Chain A
Amino acid sequence: MTTTSLAAEAAPSPRADFADSPVIRSRRRIDPTYYWMVVPVLALFAFFITLPALVGVFFSLTNYAGYGDWKFIGLSNYVNIFKDPAVLQSYIFTFVFALTTTVVVNIVALAIALGLNAKIKWRTGIRTVFFIPMVLSALIVSFVFNYLFSNTLPVLAERFGFTPLATSILANENLAWLAIVLVTVWQAAPGATIIYLAGLQSVPAEIYEAADLDGAGSFRQFLNLTLPLILGYLVINVILGFKGFLGTYEIIVGLTGGGPGMATQSVAMRIFSGFTGGDYSYQMANAVIYFLITLLISVIQLRLIQRRGVSL
């Protein structure tokens, strides 16, 4: 398709007899209206999205504090970041959190999707309930769970004499991140469930009938039929989910604010702190590194998809 049209562009003369046809004409000389549709939006996009990215890279090479004078300091910000244990900790937290959440979200979402796709009573009503978290503000949801974790749960634990939970897990350096995983799963599972439902509905019912005749049980059917057939949807969910969870911000703000100490401070939170913390250029260098890491992950993921030949 590309080659024929390029030929038509380059050498219109052999087709001159068709020149009056609107199709050919529009192929050869593009209606300026189309440019008017794209160019203003592209210009705004470049100005509001691309320009800040470039400005950020520029300032990462300076000692700009967010105000006042600045001068070039080369790559010192980058060097310092690699020596900063607080930054390293935020990266470890962010990746462990994103990986755990991705796994849990996908297990939960797939289970819900299988349940909703099976022959159950009141399917529409149950489905409505399961998708409610999708429409709620993550921040407000986190505030609600904050109270549940720090007040309700300890009171309940005390009542039943279960001491490990008698103090708020949000105040526990080692457990607080699990609360964040839990709320993130609560919030993100419906989105992943929808993608799995779309996948499950693309699986023809006949193959299950065949499997039933062959005497395959439900679990074997799931493992050998359903899972391979919805693999593409699983890949999409893992990629979208992981990328999203790396940037988690609101739920952490609502639950722990990055604490206790800095135990649950994500990379995104550290970068945002550069706005008020006086280390603007330092956090911009952090942002550039963060960008390179996410880019690397995206490239690896795309490669894996292409190699496996997974497509939707």
Chain B
Amino acid sequence: MASSTLTRPSLPATKAPARSRTSGREGFKINWWLTALMLVASLTVLLPLYFTVAMALKSPDQIGTGTGLAWPTPMNWENFAAAYVATNFPRAFMSTAFVTVFSVLGSLACSSLVAYAIARNWNHRFFRGSFVYLLSAMFIPFPVIILPLIKQTALLGLDNPAGVVFLHVLGGISFNALLYIAFVRSIPVELEESARMDGATTWQVFRKIIFPLLAPMNATVGIFAFLGSWNDFLLPQMMIADPALQTLPVVQMLFQGEFNTNYSLAFASYLMAMAPTLVVYILAQRWVLSGVMRGAVK
């Protein structure tokens, strides 16, 4: 698998996802039956989302013993204010944003540097060995290292969001480097050579020439890192010792207590935690999908 992905010289699907008709059959009429079927099928996604919004806008009385599917009148916008206070939303948001921003930046920087060095020194035993070492780690399931890892990070004082950033960056490096290496190989070495002739150092070549050329792959890696960090539950839950520094997904556990029956508050809080990724996705969906698609072709 590794070798076949690495020898792939170009990325054919790079601009495919947006309105691609390449394998649709030209000249055929629009299939209305299939369109109707797809619309009905998309309700499986839309209904739970509608349900979340409807629940978030209900008062406890309106929830009562009903199905929860009815749209509430009047709508209770104050649920959001209450959830904002109950979960200390700004603090959880800042903590999540901290983890996400630095995980994305760290993943971009570390993975691309490693991939560049490995791809350009493929003939050298040390670099090829590093690659195999990084890849082999993909076979270690996370549950296997988690217990000793938590003890280790706690000893080092990394039982906080900064520690989570470390683990997000290092945990993703195998896969991200794999994506980058295939891409670096498609960049001709000649591009670098002229710069080196003019006296540019390897750092400068990387910063000024290679990194900008990696832009499409940066988008892909960035999107995966963003989604992975923002939505991660396992690592923050297990690593972050101070509850005040917890991230948004973990904070939602607050509503899972046995005696909690305030569902409207819970759903308002869920919605607020889901909103950022949802809004970013809707606004930049074409860009996000083409980025993810590029990762899928690997």
Interface string of B114-158 (1 = CB under 8 A from A): 101110110110110010011001011111111111111100000
Interface: A73 (CB within 8 A) = no
Of all chain A residues, the one with the shortest Cβ separation from B177 is A41
Interface: B12 (CB within 8 A) = yes
A42–B115 alpha-carbon span in the complex (Å): 12
Tell me how far the C-beta of A130 lies from the nearest C-beta in chain B, rounded to whole angstroms: 6
A290 contacts B12, C-beta separation under 8 Å: no
Contact of B35 among A48, A120, A274 (CB under 8 A): A120
Interface string of A110-145 (1 = CB under 8 A from B): 001001111111111011111111111111110111
A311–B1 alpha-carbon span in the complex (Å): 7
A44, A55, A136, A246 interface centre (most CB from chain B within 10 Å): A136
Interface: A194 (CB within 8 A) = yes
Interface majority SS (helix, strand, loop, mixed), chain A: helix
Interface: A97 (CB within 8 A) = no
A205–B24 alpha-carbon span in the complex (Å): 7
A-B contact pairs, 9 of them (CB 8 A): A23-B189, A115-B37, A132-B49, A134-B227, A140-B249, A144-B270, A186-B45, A272-B238, A294-B139
Enumerate chain B residues within 8 angstroms of A59, measured Cβ to Cβ: 148
A118 contacts B149, C-beta separation under 8 Å: no
Interface: A203 (CB within 8 A) = yes
A38 contacts B117, C-beta separation under 8 Å: yes
Interface residues on A, range: 35 or more
A-B contact sample (7 more), CB < 8 A, given A33-B202, A141-B48: A37-B113, A42-B130, A55-B148, A119-B28, A143-B256, A155-B67, A194-B292
Interface: A247 (CB within 8 A) = yes
Contact of A48 among B26, B166, B249, B252 (CB under 8 A): B166
Interface with A: B75-83, B86-94, B276-284, which one? B276-284
Interface with B: A74-82, A162-170, A172-180, A281-289, which one? A281-289
Of all chain B residues, the one with the shortest Cβ separation from A269 is B143
Tell me how far the C-beta of B144 lies from the nearest C-beta in chain A, rounded to whole angstroms: 4
Interface string of B267-289 (1 = CB under 8 A from A): 10010011001101110011011
Contact of B231 among A1, A55, A138 (CB under 8 A): A138
B293 contacts A198, C-beta separation under 8 Å: yes
Which residues A225-250 have CB closer than 8 A to chain B? 236, 243, 246-247, 249-250
Enumerate chain A residues within 8 angstroms of B23, measured Cβ to Cβ: 117, 200-201, 203-205, 208
Interface: A52 (CB within 8 A) = yes
B31 contacts A120, C-beta separation under 8 Å: yes
B148 contacts A128, C-beta separation under 8 Å: no
Of all chain A residues, the one with the shortest Cβ separation from B145 is A52
B114 contacts A38, C-beta separation under 8 Å: yes
Contact of A34 among B4, B19, B121, B278 (CB under 8 A): B121
Enumerate chain A residues within 8 angstroms of B38, measured Cβ to Cβ: 115-116, 120, 126
Contact of B31 among A118, A127, A131, A253 (CB under 8 A): A118
Interface: A202 (CB within 8 A) = yes
Contact of B273 among A30, A137, A250 (CB under 8 A): A137
Enumerate chain B residues within 8 angstroms of A267, measured Cβ to Cβ: 143
Interface: B101 (CB within 8 A) = no
Of all chain B residues, the one with the shortest Cβ separation from A251 is B233
Of all chain B residues, the one with the shortest Cβ separation from A55 is B148
